[in-house]
Amino acid sequence: MKRSTVVLAACLLAAGSAAALLPHAMAAAQGCRVDYTVSSQWQGGFQAGVKVTNLGDPVSGWTLAFSFPNTGQKLTQGWNATWSQSGSTVTAASLEWNRSLGTGASVDLGFTGSWSGANPVPTAFTLNGVACTGTPVTTTTTTTTTTGNPPVGRTPVEINGQLRVCGVNLCNQYNRPIQLRGMSTHGIQWFDKCYNSASLDALANDWKADLLRIAMYVQEQGYETNPSGFTSRVNSLVDMAEARGLYAIIDFHTLTPGDPNYNLDRAKTFFSQVASRNAAKKNVIYEIANEPNGVSWAGIKSYAEQVIPVIRAADPDAVVLVGTRGWSSLGVSDGSNESEIVNNPVNATNIMYTFHFYAASHKDNYRSTVSRAATRLPLFVSEFGTVSATGGGAYDQSSSTAWLDLLDQLKISYANWTYSDADESSAALRPGTCNGSTYTGSGVLTESGAFVKNRISTADNFPTS
């Protein structure tokens, strides 16, 4: 997709210049820069990113305004601000979490719109009523397709954009519930060679997956042995997913020990780095603890309430997944259930709770918990297997089918353990596959892999308005 970008050069504004000339004047310096990018355009519709940079003194509340040059241009839906349109004037007002904008700080906004006749880019912007003037330095034109709908072949991330939690659902940029379906890596400390251009191309194009979960173990020769190496490998996998239009879950794969507080300092360091590095991306979801076990809900909640603010400080708008008690069973594997979360939720917004299952081990009582919990809590199945909880044993087709039918019906997103060639029945690829260069077709698939691919590769149903 070609992108059209108009960069409006920096402007130090009248008030700021006057203050410079008159040193006794105490007027706050004002200035701003707007980068306006049409990221995609189709017949009748388009999507634009609007990056606003404050070049003046810090502000603690802002309103961006601009005019559509053509009367046929209309705002449909915006994000990361309160958007409205009156006549040709569009305004975007700050939200609670992004209202403070320090000197040099930027905020990424965006919207979808409709157009008829022509779709010229706006060239005059104001921030808090002060003009951001400037000359466009680059302008290219997007390819316009002739269908009345968003272009076919757009990727999951292009269609859905920045995700957010809405009620108990995961919503896309149109505030409509969606379900993402995809695969989890195995531990990247062991199966790194399985994640390369060819395998990720196959996941995006042959599997038609929406999602890659990047399982970064913390123990078992994982992150704790080489924090900077694992951090950079995770970042490169995020980029490889992004390049293919896939969402990426950054999974802090705690498992043994099961109390995530054991890794609290590591989690803070890791998430502050990955969240600041990936803040501008739309495809990242953070999973802060894979499977808490041997720890109370109160302990998990306390951990979450210390790690989530670290992520929010760097990447305020991303969805965060919180593991649940009893190996992310909503407490069921510990003899509890979802009520402990409903009665004492994590004090944070834009989060979902994870539920994991292994179809041969976890059946009707777990399914009835999920059905009931899904009416009260935003749930995300960030890991499941078609086999037993050991990751091995027989593949259970009937329980796996019952599970995925339920998740489809509830629009609960899922990732399957594992997109790897591990010598265990949960792996989707036959042993030895990752020594070769072919990842497409049925020849490389295990029984579980064939089943899961068949489920994942059916057409997505992503609403676009």
> What type of residue sits at position 246?
L
Using the rule CB under 6 A, give the single segment among 128-136, 242-250, 389-397, 435-443 that binds ligand IDC.
389-397
Instruction: Give the C-alpha separation, 133 to 150, whole Å.
Output: 32
Using the rule CB under 6 A, give the single segment among 94-102, 192-200, 206-214, 418-426 that binds ligand IDC.
418-426
Q: Hey, what are 66's tokens? A: 């601009």
Phi, psi angles (nearest 5°) of residue 78: -115, 170
Dihedral sign for Cα atoms in the order 25, 93, 34, 315: positive
User: For residues 176 and 363, which CB has a smaller minimum distance to ligand IDC in the complex?
Assistant: 363
Instruction: Give the C-alpha separation, 211 to 419, whole Å.
Output: 11
Shortest approach of ligand IDC to residue 218 CB, angstroms?
Answer: 11
Which residue in 108, 291, 317, 396 binds ligand IDC (CB under 6 A)? 291
**What residues form DSSP beta bridges with 340?**
none
Q: Hey, what are 357's tokens? A: 């299952």
User: For residues 125 and 395, which CB has a smaller minimum distance to ligand IDC in the complex?
Assistant: 395
Q: Does 290 bind ligand IDC (CB under 6 A)?
A: yes
Footprint of ligand IDC on residues 95-134 (CB under 6 A)?
none
Q: Hey, what are 197's tokens? A: 């251009």
Q: Does 422 bind ligand IDC (CB under 6 A)?
A: yes
Which SS3 state, helix, strand or coil, does residue 162 take?
coil
Which residue in 358, 366, 395, 462 binds ligand IDC (CB under 6 A)? 358
User: For residues 33 and 253, which CB has a smaller minimum distance to ligand IDC in the complex?
Assistant: 253
Q: Does 308 bind ligand IDC (CB under 6 A)?
A: no
Q: Hey, what are 140's tokens? A: 């290219």
Selecting among 287, 338, 340, 383, the annotated active-site residue is 383
Residue 338 is a catalytic residue: no
CA 425 centroid distance within chain: 29
Which residue in 195, 417, 419, 462 binds ligand IDC (CB under 6 A)? 417
Nearest 5°: the CA angle 317, 318, 320 is 130
Shortest approach of ligand IDC to residue 405 CB, angstroms?
Answer: 21
User: For residues 255 and 341, which CB has a smaller minimum distance to ligand IDC in the complex?
Assistant: 255
Q: Does 192 bind ligand IDC (CB under 6 A)?
A: no
Q: Does 340 bind ligand IDC (CB under 6 A)?
A: no
Is-contact 178 172, C-beta < 8 A? yes
Q: Does 355 bind ligand IDC (CB under 6 A)?
A: no
Shortest approach of ligand IDC to residue 307 CB, angstroms?
Answer: 18
Secondary structure of 369-405 in HEC code, one letter for each residue: HHHHHCCCCCEEEEEEECCCCCCCCCCCHHHHHHHHH
Peptide bond into 418 cis (omega under 30): yes
Residue 291 is a catalytic residue: yes
Shortest approach of ligand IDC to residue 350 CB, angstroms?
Answer: 24
Shortest approach of ligand IDC to residue 368 CB, angstroms?
Answer: 20
Q: Does 255 bind ligand IDC (CB under 6 A)?
A: yes
Q: Does 327 bind ligand IDC (CB under 6 A)?
A: yes
Using the rule CB under 6 A, give the single segment among 129-137, 222-230, 421-429, 446-454 that binds ligand IDC.
421-429
Position of minimal CB gap to ligand IDC = 391
Instruction: Give the C-alpha separation, 33 to 230, whole Å.
Output: 35
Q: Does 295 bind ligand IDC (CB under 6 A)?
A: no
String of DSSP letters for 86-153: ETTEEEEE--GGG-EE-TT-EEEEEEEEE-SS--PPP--EEETTEEE---B-----PPPPSSSSSPTT
Q: Does 366 bind ligand IDC (CB under 6 A)?
A: no
Which active-site residues does the annotation give? 291, 383
- Chain positions contacting ligand IDC, by CB under 6 A: 220, 255, 290-291, 327, 356, 358, 383, 389-391, 417, 422, 424, 426
